[in-house]
Amino acid sequence: RAICIDESTGRILWNRRVFSQGGATAPRIHKKNSHASPTPVITPDGKLYVHFGHQGTACLDLKGLILWTNRNISYAPVHGNGCSPLVVGDKLFFSCDGARNPFVIALNRHTGKVVWRRERNVDAKKKFAFCTALLIEANGRQQIISPGGDAVMAYDPTSGEEIWRVRYNGYSVVPRPVYGHGLVFLSSGFDHPTFYAIKPTGQGDVTDTHIAWTFTKGAPHTPSPLLVGDELYLVSDGGIGTCLDAKTGEIHWRERVCGSCSASPFHAAGLIYILDEGGRSVVIKADKTFHKLAENEIGERTLASCAVGDNAFYLRSAKHLFKIQKL
């Protein structure tokens, strides 16, 4: 389903069933996942894109009218759906990293038709991943950065050509990469994640030549990294926070900041907000020295990252959707 909620009142404006699937035949999901984990995307021309992984992808207008659907892209999921779609010009990109034969694909976002598809071509025991891709520009060229099982690849958005790749040992990759200071930052996933800083300027397999630095102690399995100025902030799944120098990987501080954590931290007005799975939010100062400023509780399990807009935070828990704003 796609649901539109009035952001001022919380009233449901429309509720549209996009796809139907019998519960008895639906692939099993992880206890932390749902069939609707991917985040929807809205474009300036009034299009809403919803993605349900192997169950299908659709485009709606902002009144809930379904404009197109595509249920022809099939693969064998592991633990359900994960990656959110990425809009690049007239294309809608996402990865299909299932149990076998992983690939990435770009659809025409106006019609839902396939523009290009590229196989991952990795020799990995566990090929599945859930990572949302990142669009960057390096050396005057756009690149789609898309981590998968055992490797991260950069693709040309126009043709789908693989520009470069870096190999690692990892699967079930969740954290989205970030980019700054001429480096791509990403975590390699399970079982023992390594955090990488990669120069996105090479061609082909650049594993031996373009890794600027790595970090292993406290690299996240699930929360995405956060880049604020010259500092990188990581939160491990166990609730350990780390502040690194983005250019060198030098550790500024490392502290327990919260309980078990799946949501990604975010930055607003000089402050960093971290939400743990128990419903506790922690506010720290964005600084090379650790300063915890506040803690708050909502009393419900929380796995999803916050949405931020119009001076408000939108927080989804196990039972409610919260809007948090200064009145």
- % of the chain with per-residue pLDDT over 70: 100
Mean pLDDT of 209-238: 96
User: Across the chain, what does the average pLDDT equal?
Assistant: 94
pLDDT at 161: 98
Q: What are phi and psi of 214, to 5 degrees?
A: -135, 160
Q: Which residue would you say has higher pLDDT here, 8 or 247?
A: 247
pLDDT in tens, 89-144: 999 999 999 999 999 999 999 999 999 999 999 988 899 999 999 999 998 999 99
pLDDT at 327: 80
End-to-end C-alpha distance for the chain, whole angstroms? 32
Q: Would the pLDDT of 14 be above 90?
A: yes
Task: Indicate left, alpha or beta for 201 from its phi (over 0: left) and psi (-120 to 50: alpha).
Answer: alpha
pLDDT at 155: 98
- Going through 72-225 in order, the beta strands assigned E by DSSP cover 86-88, 91-96, 103-108, 114-119, 134-138, 141-148, 151-155, 162-167, 178-180, 183-187, 195-198, 204-205, 211-215
pLDDT in tens, 15-51: 999 998 777 777 777 788 777 889 999 999 999 999 9
How far is residue 219's CA from residue 263's CA, in Å, rounded to a whole number? 14
